[in-house]
Structure 1
Amino acid sequence: MSLVFSPLIPCRGVAEYLWNNFLGGQSYSRPLGDAVLDGIDFDIEGGTTLYWDVLAKALKGTGLFDYVWIQFYNDPPCQYSGNVANLFSFWNAWTWIHADKIFLGLPASPEAAGSGYIPPDVLISQVLPIIKHYSPNYGGVMLWSKYYDNGYSSSIKPHVIALNQALTASQ
């Protein structure tokens, strides 16, 4: 007889623990007392990519995903590196979440992150138009960080707003 490891069982347990101890559930051992957090940040940089999707699906079972901000920088498989193909491949892979809105997380300047910076003209001309056609749950762009934003947000803002308006009008 052989035992088969199923990541689903421990991930459900972790999801229930997070829900009951930090989010909207109930537990006698809530580390923050009555405080209820409004989200969880999976900052997976440099760690294993195993089972995070399973944990996310288990958390989705508690109805957690209104908004999801996905970091498309400092993560070589899915970030922009002169070609948008990898970025779109991984963007599409995240659409299984079925969150109300998914945000494209980007560095606000080349200095803001180790990698993954998308020049504003590339974002406006190559990335946003494709997202418009394939992502009805696109919510906007999240930038890291305000400290490094020396005009990036103001240069993309009209295009992000126009895309959001176009998607809202088509729904």
Structure 2
Amino acid sequence: MENEGTLIETCVTVNYAFVNEGGAGSYSLTSSEDARQVTIYLWNNLLSGHSSNRLLGNAVLDGVDFYIEGVSNLHWDDLARYLKGYSKRGKKVYLTAAPQCPFPNAWIGDALKTGFFDYVWVQFYNNPPCQYTQGALSNLEDAWKQWTLSIPATKIFLGLPAALQVAGSGFILAIDLSSSVLPAIKGSNRYGGVMLWSKYYDNLDRYNSSIKSHV
């Protein structure tokens, strides 16, 4: 991100409230106890717990985003359960996830079934069987219905690339999004809005500005 200072400085502005768990790389949970230990670490070092060496200083994040795409699909449901359990201590711990659009999700499908997730921003790109292609809405619409009818999250978001160069496929022109895609999916009571990747390219192309009034 441009001109936002250090990670710590950015977090204490309260404009960003989640820590991302996962992404590219080799990572896994070996057991339910492993998930519990990771939860304790996240709570004490990034959320509302206490530690002498908190990773972001005095910044206190509101939740954890699950971006899991590799190695193992085991025990992410345990991690979600343990993290959500800390909500009983007074401050709600928000859980979000960013799965790819094929349903069911191969990596965190079991975790998403728990009902512990507040928001799920599904990546409807780089997967032709469940994304929009110009003039053809059915694949995305069918996948959207699967996600919104099957996952007990509070809100589901339509995840899209913010510019043509961000993804290999799945970019939707603003005119197509506003005239075709959004009218087809906004009727769901699970519709939460549109998630864009990435902020860097959105700053360059201002895609969000061209769609905001329609979202």
Q: TM-score range by the shorter chain?
A: 0.5 to 0.7
Whether 1:81 aligns to 2:81 is no
Counterpart selection for 2:207 from 152, 161, 165: 152
**Corresponding residue SS for 1:22:** helix
Paired amino acid for 1:34? N
Q: Which residue is equivalent to 1:119?
A: 173
Q: Measured at CA, do residues 60 and 156 of structure 1 come closer, stay the same or move farther in structure 2, by a change above 3 Å?
A: same
Aligned-residue sequence identity (percent) comes to 48
**Corresponding residue SS for 2:184:** helix
Mapped contact 2:125–2:169 kept (Cα < 8 A): yes
Q: As a proportion of its length, which structure holds more helix?
A: 1
Q: Which residue is equivalent to 2:67?
A: 41
Mapped contact 2:69–2:107 kept (Cα < 8 A): no
**Corresponding residue SS for 1:116:** coil
Whether 1:91 aligns to 2:159 is no
Higher relative contact order (CA 8 A, sep 6+): 1
Count of residues paired in the alignment: 137
Mapped contact 1:71–1:104 kept (Cα < 8 A): yes
**Corresponding residue SS for 2:172:** coil
Mapped contact 1:102–1:137 kept (Cα < 8 A): yes
Q: Measured at CA, do residues 59 and 88 of structure 1 come closer, stay the same or move farther in structure 2, by a change above 3 Å?
A: closer
Q: Measured at CA, do residues 105 and 33 of structure 1 come closer, stay the same or move farther in structure 2, by a change above 3 Å?
A: closer
Shift of 1:42: 2.8
Query: What TM-score comes out, normalization by structure 1 length?
Result: 0.67
Paired amino acid for 2:69? D
Q: As a proportion of its length, which structure holds more strand?
A: 2
**Partners of 2:104 and 2:177 in 1: how far apart?**
30
**Partners of 2:171 and 2:131 in 1: how far apart?**
8
Q: Measured at CA, do residues 15 and 109 of structure 1 come closer, stay the same or move farther in structure 2, by a change above 3 Å?
A: farther
Deviations 1:61-98 (A, max 9, x none): 2x421000100111121111221110111111111102
Q: Measured at CA, do residues 91 and 50 of structure 1 come closer, stay the same or move farther in structure 2, by a change above 3 Å?
A: closer
**Corresponding residue SS for 1:69:** strand
Query: What TM-score comes out, normalization by structure 2 length?
Result: 0.55
**Corresponding residue SS for 1:40:** strand
**Partners of 2:177 and 2:209 in 1: how far apart?**
13
Structure 1 unaligned residues grouped into runs of 5+: 1-12, 161-171
**Corresponding residue SS for 2:66:** coil
Q: Measured at CA, do residues 91 and 121 of structure 1 come closer, stay the same or move farther in structure 2, by a change above 3 Å?
A: same
Deviations 1:29-61 (A, max 9, x none): x5x6833561311336xx9x7974584234542
**Corresponding residue SS for 1:41:** strand
